[in-house]
Structure 1
Amino acid sequence: MCGIIGLHLRDPVLYERLGPLMAEMLQGIVVRGPDSAGVAIYGDKSRCPAGQAAVSLLNAPEGLADAVARELPGVEEVHTELVGETTVLTAATSPELLSAAVAAVSPESRVVGMGEDMVIYKGIGNPNELARTYRLQEARGWQGIAHTRMATESAINAEGCHPFSVGVGVSLVHNGSFSNYASIRRELEAEGITFDSHNDTEVGARFVASRLAKGDDLSTALTALRKKFDGFYTLLVTTEKGFAVARDEFACKPAIIAEHPRWVAMASEFQALAMLPGIDEAHVFEPLPGRVYAWSR
């Protein structure tokens, strides 16, 4: 079943309220996904300081920060924070170099997100408890997404949690299933793209990331996905520049969008939007089948 929420803030005055607003939104989708939860937070400088990169990891060993620092000439310090099952490394370098250093010294670690303005946390368990572990109430920034999972296509573990983030600053959350993901995965592997899991959502995430890397904007990449992927799905994809929603041609997986001059929000249930400031003045609508809706900063 799974639950999705996303909040894109247009008004900088609200940036201090990103975490509290997301925590309240999360309450509206907990029932849809009791297995696990993940979040992506954009713009929180206490988690990813300005001028630094952040890499989120699973299965990170002790002492990783020192080993990674030795792989990065000119980087004086790599900071590490353990948040539940997720370890976050930050350093004054690029996301690509930081991720490559992790792979060099700890190939058993799984990179689950990297960016210059984004941090990802993933884990299994009750979403409310995980929200406390992630310090969601304390989050500040301009954009965030969260996903609560009821597993259907793969095991219940942190690796299978959403968001799936396979490009710099890109996150994808998914409710539904792709019926032809295995054949698309083979096509992507033939192009040299590697996979970390057997999850159908990762195939969608890899496809979108590959299109963005080729120069597509977010709307164009999701339009290409909609044309190629079969199944029943609602997707929310975020980057360090924007926020987009897509549904399949049948639109049987729930989605509600609310647009306000101060923010744009999306959720699987209206009750997750009901407490947003000015919701009674917002344009609230169900996204149409086979359509892509996108917003940028």
Structure 2
Amino acid sequence: MCGIAGIIHLDGPGDVGLEMTKMLQSMKHRGPDSSGYALYGEPQDSLVMRFKLADPNETGEFDFAERLERNRREVESRLSKIGATVDRVDGESAYAYRAEFRYEGELKPLADYVENIPGCEVLSLGHSLEIVKDLGDAETVAGQYKLDAFRGTHAIGHVRMATESDVDIAGAHPYWAYPFSDVAVVHNGQLTNYHQWRRRLERSGHRFQSECDSEIIAVYLAERLADGLDLETAMKQSLDDLDGVFTYMVVTETSLGMAKDEMAAKPLVLHQGDNLVAMASEEGAIRAVLPQEIDSYDPYEKEVLVWSR
């Protein structure tokens, strides 16, 4: 079932943390197990890395706090060893962290080096992207990570009902397009050629932290962007290469896009105003942030739309 949402302010920053919380909370019935956000602030020179060192179900284990503090220090040490200048590392929860640092090298060696620490998973890495996801509904996650105060330009989000995998952060959306900066995806549906594309992308050197289709879509698109395609062209190509029934949203440092497969069976409602675009699996999610009378419509089969700031 699950629910997806996206919003972009075309004329400057807005309260995207609060807005995404309202949109996701209105769809709590579609996915009460976990909630996730990909939030975009104004781009900065330094990199922001969101990472976790454990899952919530591990907090009661013996020496949990001591182990996490030891591994947190190891993250800082490895960032320094690989050539990054660490400005700060903040604990966002008992197991999740946010690091700011300056680094001029390639992201893949850095992410691989950090993730080699036991229990460490890099959730996002970029100059404006920050992925936050955890167990519970959107209001619970937003309160835990203080997301209502996040101001930014655009965002996507996801509420998950765990039907095929465990209830944990690793299975929660959105997914960062490792190792590409500032690209993330949420989707509703299923890829029928998932394993074919996973093997193909793994042969190109990519790794995947889950068995979720969204990771495949994210890396697929990011790889084509790296090859020089613009976002809209890459998304249109994805509709020819990726089989299945799906609707997805993708965000980059400057853009928000959506695509539906050729059957368009997975719902999406869209509102486009002069300065703001909002879309979600249900119209009620849009009305949660735009209570006035609005026009909305359902995108067509095999439709691709992109908005850029």
TM-score in terms of structure 1 length: 0.89
Verify: 1:39 aligned to 2:33, yes or no: no
Letter of the 2:136 counterpart? G
- Counterpart CA distance in 2 for 1:291 and 1:133 is 36
Identity of aligned pairs, percent? 33
3-state SS of 2:270 partner: strand
User: Relative to 1, partners in 2 of residues 1:168 and 1:236: Cα closer, same or farther, differing over 3 Å?
Assistant: same
Contact 2:86–2:100, Cα closer than 8 Å, also in 1: no
- Counterpart CA distance in 2 for 1:182 and 1:270 is 33
- Counterpart CA distance in 1 for 2:246 and 2:183 is 19
- Counterpart CA distance in 1 for 2:144 and 2:123 is 17
Match runs of 1:149-164 below 5 Å: 149-164=160-175
Letter of the 2:125 counterpart? M
CA shift at 1:62, angstroms? 2.7
3-state SS of 1:77 partner: strand
User: Which structure 2 residue ranges, 5 or more long, are not aligned?
Assistant: 55-70
- Counterpart CA distance in 2 for 1:105 and 1:183 is 28
> Segments of 4+ in structure 1 off by > 6 A?
none
- 1:181-227 per-position Cα deviation (integer Å, ceiling 9, x unaligned): 01121222233332222222222222112111111111111111111
Name 2:227's counterpart in structure 1. Answer: 214
CA shift at 1:56, angstroms? 1.4
CA shift at 1:284, angstroms? 1.4
User: Relative to 1, partners in 2 of residues 1:73 and 1:247: Cα closer, same or farther, differing over 3 Å?
Assistant: closer
Name 2:188's counterpart in structure 1. Answer: 175
- Counterpart CA distance in 2 for 1:34 and 1:193 is 31
Verify: 1:113 aligned to 2:111, yes or no: no
Aligned pair partner of 1:127 in 118, 129, 138: 138
Aligned pair partner of 2:274 in 261, 268, 275: 261
Q: Which of 235-244 and 143-152 deviates more?
A: 143-152
CA shift at 1:82, angstroms? 2.4
Name 1:90's counterpart in structure 2. Answer: 100
3-state SS of 1:119 partner: strand
- 1:116-173 per-position Cα deviation (integer Å, ceiling 9, x unaligned): 0111112122332112112121110111111101123433221111111122100100
Letter of the 2:11 counterpart? D
User: Relative to 1, partners in 2 of residues 1:73 and 1:284: Cα closer, same or farther, differing over 3 Å?
Assistant: same
Contact 1:68–1:78, Cα closer than 8 Å, also in 2: no
CA shift at 1:9, angstroms? 0.4
User: Relative to 1, partners in 2 of residues 1:153 and 1:182: Cα closer, same or farther, differing over 3 Å?
Assistant: farther
Contact 1:54–1:116, Cα closer than 8 Å, also in 2: yes
User: Relative to 1, partners in 2 of residues 1:51 and 1:198: Cα closer, same or farther, differing over 3 Å?
Assistant: same
- Counterpart CA distance in 2 for 1:75 and 1:192 is 27
Q: Which of 266-275 and 144-153 deviates more?
A: 144-153
Contact 2:259–2:303, Cα closer than 8 Å, also in 1: yes
User: Which structure 1 residue ranges, 5 or more long, are not aligned?
Assistant: none
CA shift at 1:84, angstroms? 5.8
Contact 2:75–2:114, Cα closer than 8 Å, also in 1: no
- Counterpart CA distance in 1 for 2:246 and 2:138 is 22
3-state SS of 2:133 partner: strand
Q: Which of 184-193 and 61-70 deviates more?
A: 61-70
- Counterpart CA distance in 2 for 1:73 and 1:185 is 31
Q: Which of 87-96 and 287-296 deviates more?
A: 87-96
Letter of the 1:53 counterpart? L
- 1:70-101 per-position Cα deviation (integer Å, ceiling 9, x unaligned): 3154726343332464322111225845x644
- Counterpart CA distance in 1 for 2:48 and 2:86 is 15
Name 2:48's counterpart in structure 1. Answer: 54
Contact 2:115–2:122, Cα closer than 8 Å, also in 1: no
Contact 1:55–1:95, Cα closer than 8 Å, also in 2: no
Verify: 1:136 aligned to 2:130, yes or no: no
- 1:218-268 per-position Cα deviation (integer Å, ceiling 9, x unaligned): 111111111111111110100001000011111111101110011011111
- Counterpart CA distance in 2 for 1:259 and 1:104 is 42
Contact 1:212–1:221, Cα closer than 8 Å, also in 2: yes
- Counterpart CA distance in 2 for 1:156 and 1:55 is 23
Contact 2:84–2:101, Cα closer than 8 Å, also in 1: no
Contact 1:64–1:106, Cα closer than 8 Å, also in 2: no
Contact 1:7–1:263, Cα closer than 8 Å, also in 2: yes
- Counterpart CA distance in 1 for 2:15 and 2:77 is 36
Matched residue count:
289
CA shift at 1:55, angstroms? 1.1
3-state SS of 1:90 partner: strand
Verify: 1:104 aligned to 2:113, yes or no: yes
TM-score in terms of structure 2 length: 0.85
